[in-house]
Amino acid sequence: MRRIIGFLAAMSCSWPALAADALPALKLDPDSLTVSGVSSGGYMAVQYQVAYSGKVAGAGIVSAGPWYCAQESVTRALGECMKGVDPAPDTAALVAAARKAAAADTIDDLNGLAADRVWVFHGSKDTKVGRPVSDALVGFYRAFMPAENIRYETGVAAAHGFPTLDDGIACDTSAEPWLNDCDYDAAGRLLEQLYGPLQPRGKASGDRLRAFDQHRYAQSAALSTLEPFGFVYVPKRCEKGAACRIHVAFHGCRQGTSFVGKAFVRNAGYNDWAESNDIVVLYPQAAKSVFMPFNPQGCWDWWGYTGAAYATRDGAQLVTVRRMLEALGLH
């Protein structure tokens, strides 16, 4: 009993300290924000880019489709927006929906996408998300930006997951931690597409990956959909006051901390590039839930479980990520 009491006392002291952890205020280039994600995180990255296109400079998308593809329907999400057949996503209809949303001022003016740089990846062994889904995303982007701004990679024999240089499971296998060892550095490829030539990949320092309290930034509708803690990687020079760029990386379904621990935030490859190129990387974390909302796979909301505004500037999760970025110093 004494041991139990001592353990509980120690925990009661540590919890408030952890809960008080806030994001550090940094010096960030206001024109440097880029986003990326895999699977549901890819859809989330597209949603953030489109909703806040006036503030986003580019996006890297792995195994995901166009903005508002599911249109508030989980049936459509699991059908045409994943399988991509019978039918495939209707790109023209989604472009029209985006134009209507912009006219209603629920998303930014779509002219904000014109100068964006985009990197889209679809593994040739991906059986969870069909190639027509990624094709539709590329078609959506081409409605708003020049074709030369888009890099579309389809030649890697990767299954569903995030391709890495040397971490994770076999390249042609789909399983946790959804990192595929493909001898292919997706994090580096997408960051180079979004930012242009970079310094060579460096070596991340584990102590620069920090947990922070997500709930202090959450819109109330997003509270139950987020893990208590997210992560941010702050390179040494950024910590010391250098002006740095900022990137947001969204994990996929069953890839947040409640499923794979820190595998994605540590091993996807972003941090090594971040350290040598002065890029702060924000890793928000979605939570799994089985009741209100029903999200047992811990996916980001790309079909409307947080409400009908999920893909707009009023979307609960999008607002929360924007607040996180503002706390880091992006205004």
Letter string b/e over residues 101-132, b meaning 16 or more CB atoms within 10 A of that residue's CB: bbeeeebbebebbeebbbbbbbbebbebbbbb
Active site residue 105: no
Q: Could you tell me how far CA 195 lies from the centroid of its own chain?
A: 17
> From start to end of the chain, where are the E strands?
34-38, 58-62, 117-121, 150-153, 162-164, 169-170, 179-181, 209-213, 229-233, 245-250, 279-283, 289-290, 294-295
Active site residue 215: no
In whole angstroms, give the CA distance from residue 209 to residue 315: 27
Closest CA to 53 of 68, 31, 38, 28: 31
Residue 179 CB neighbours (<10 A):
24
Residue 148 CB neighbours (<10 A):
7
Please pick, among 122, 160, 247, 251, the residue that the annotation labels catalytic. Answer: 160
Please pick, among 39, 40, 53, 134, the residue that the annotation labels catalytic. Answer: 39
Please pick, among 108, 116, 122, 126, the residue that the annotation labels catalytic. Answer: 126
| Residue 163, strand partner residues | 180
Tokens of 286: 């979605």
Active site residue 39: yes
In whole angstroms, give the CA distance from residue 191 to residue 35: 9
The radius of gyration computed from the CA coordinates of the chain, to the nearest angstrom, equals 19
Letter string b/e over residues 234-260, b meaning 16 or more CB atoms within 10 A of that residue's CB: bbeebeeeeebbbbbbbbbbbbbbebb
In whole angstroms, give the CA distance from residue 90 to residue 204: 41
What are the residue numbers of the active site?
39, 126, 160
